[in-house]
Amino acid sequence: MKHIYNDILASISKGEKLLAVLIDPDKIKIDNVSGFIEKVNTSIATHILVGGSTVDENITSLLVEKIKKYTTCPVVLFPGDVTQITSKADAILFLSLISGRNPEYLIGKHIKSISKLKETNLDVISTGYILIESGKETAVERVTETEPLLRTNIQHIVDTAKAGELLGMKLIYLEAGSGAKVSISKEIMLNVKKAINIPLIVGGGIRSKKQLETAYDFGADLVVIGTAFEEDESFFDELKPPWSVGHFSKRGK
Ligand code: 1GP
């Protein structure tokens, strides 16, 4: 088993910031994978996340297999459902949607996934997944039938993240939703980061280098970007090492 979580901790302890490119199996053509991954490889990206809210069965496995052919970046599953689990990846974010109150997404799906997970060698990373409202309904809300947390109720968001940590979760993921118009605010990131002692992931609606820098400056250890790369692959060209910001260094490059 690859120790992806321990590697994340080691990178963070060295002051490094991490970037994951999110690939939604529903949104990429299998023939375009090699070209897309080539771009990932030349950028500062450190991880590839694979997953989506609604994905046809078996596509994920084929996609991950193909991605692995072209990169040494760790591939981490970010599954919307049990069917997206594949042994071809290196790790899985074992997400519990702690902003919501739907038992299926708090513990139900997890129980259903065990027989499949037992057949894999994935590094299973328990993740407290917190959906924050971003102005319009997101796919996560629709699929999970849960309400996001109000972005103005900072204390409630902080307490939710802290409760996740105290329950033993290893990562906290603040999610504004794929393609969100408004990304997670500085104030939310700063306050959550101050309260927790585990790595902080931030994603949803980050579309520029400036927004990426802001997320890092306000506490994100790992930023997830999907839509911006899907819509314009030239964004990768702006994110090439060496990074111009002094505080940022890319692991292994
Ligand atoms: C979505 O946080 C991720 O689950 C990434 O969002 O597609 O908006 O980059 P974007």
Can you list the domains of the chain with their CATH numbers?
Answer: 4-10+18-233 (3.20.20.390)
Question: Can you give the pLDDT at residue 55?
Answer: 81
130 lines ligand 1 (CB under 6 A): no
| pLDDT higher than 90, residue 230 | yes
Token readout for 100 is 């919501």
Judge whether 205 is annotated as a binding position: yes
| pLDDT higher than 80, residue 250 | no
**For residue 223, how far is its CA from the centre of ligand 1 (angstroms)?**
9
Considering the chain, what percentage of its residues have pLDDT values greater than 90?
Answer: 91
Token readout for 114 is 């065990």
The pair phi, psi for residue 82, each rounded to 5°, is: -60, -35
180 lines ligand 1 (CB under 6 A): yes
| pLDDT higher than 90, residue 3 | yes
175 lines ligand 1 (CB under 6 A): yes
Closest atom of ligand 1 to CA, residue 173: 2
d(C-alpha 52, C-alpha 60), whole Å: 10
Q: How far is CA 165 from CA 60, 152, 199, 203, in A?
A: 29, 22, 10, 19
**For residue 226, how far is its CA from the centre of ligand 1 (angstroms)?**
5
> 224, 233, 235, 239: which to mutate for ligand 1, most atoms within 8 A of CB?
224
CB 243 within 8 A of CB 249: yes
Mean pLDDT for 59-85 is 97
Decide: residue 213, CB within 10 A, 0-12 exposed, 13-18 middle, 19+ buried: middle
CB 34 within 8 A of CB 71: no
Residue of minimum CA distance from atom 5 in ligand 1: 204
SS3 of residue 112 by DSSP: helix
23 lines ligand 1 (CB under 6 A): no
| pLDDT higher than 70, residue 252 | no
CB 216 within 8 A of CB 192: no
178 lines ligand 1 (CB under 6 A): yes
For the CA atoms of 175, 16, 88, 53, what is the dihedral angle to 10 degrees? 10
Q: Which residues, other chains included, contact 40 with Cβ-Cβ below 8 Å and sequence gap of 6+? A: 21, 48, 71, 73, 236
Residues 171-189: pLDDT tens digits? Answer: 999 999 999 999 999 999 9
Q: How many helices (H) and strands (E) does the chain have?
A: 11, 8
Judge whether 52 is annotated as a binding position: no
> 175, 207, 211: which to mutate for ligand 1, most atoms within 8 A of CB?
175
52 lines ligand 1 (CB under 6 A): no
Q: Which residues, other chains included, contact 121 with Cβ-Cβ below 8 Å and sequence gap of 6+? A: 1, 87
Mean pLDDT for 179-204 is 98
Residues 126-151: pLDDT tens digits? Answer: 999 999 999 889 999 999 999 999 99
Question: Can you give the pLDDT at residue 244?
Answer: 46
Mean pLDDT for 91-111 is 98
11 lines ligand 1 (CB under 6 A): no
Q: Which residues, other chains included, contact 104 with Cβ-Cβ below 8 Å and sequence gap of 6+? A: 144
Q: How many CB atoms lie within 10 A of CB 195?
A: 16
Q: Which residues, other chains included, contact 116 with Cβ-Cβ below 8 Å and sequence gap of 6+? A: 82, 85
Q: Mean pLDDT in the chain?
A: 95
Residue of minimum CA distance from atom 1 in ligand 1: 178
Compute the chain's Rg from CA coordinates. Answer: 17
d(C-alpha 8, C-alpha 2), whole Å: 12
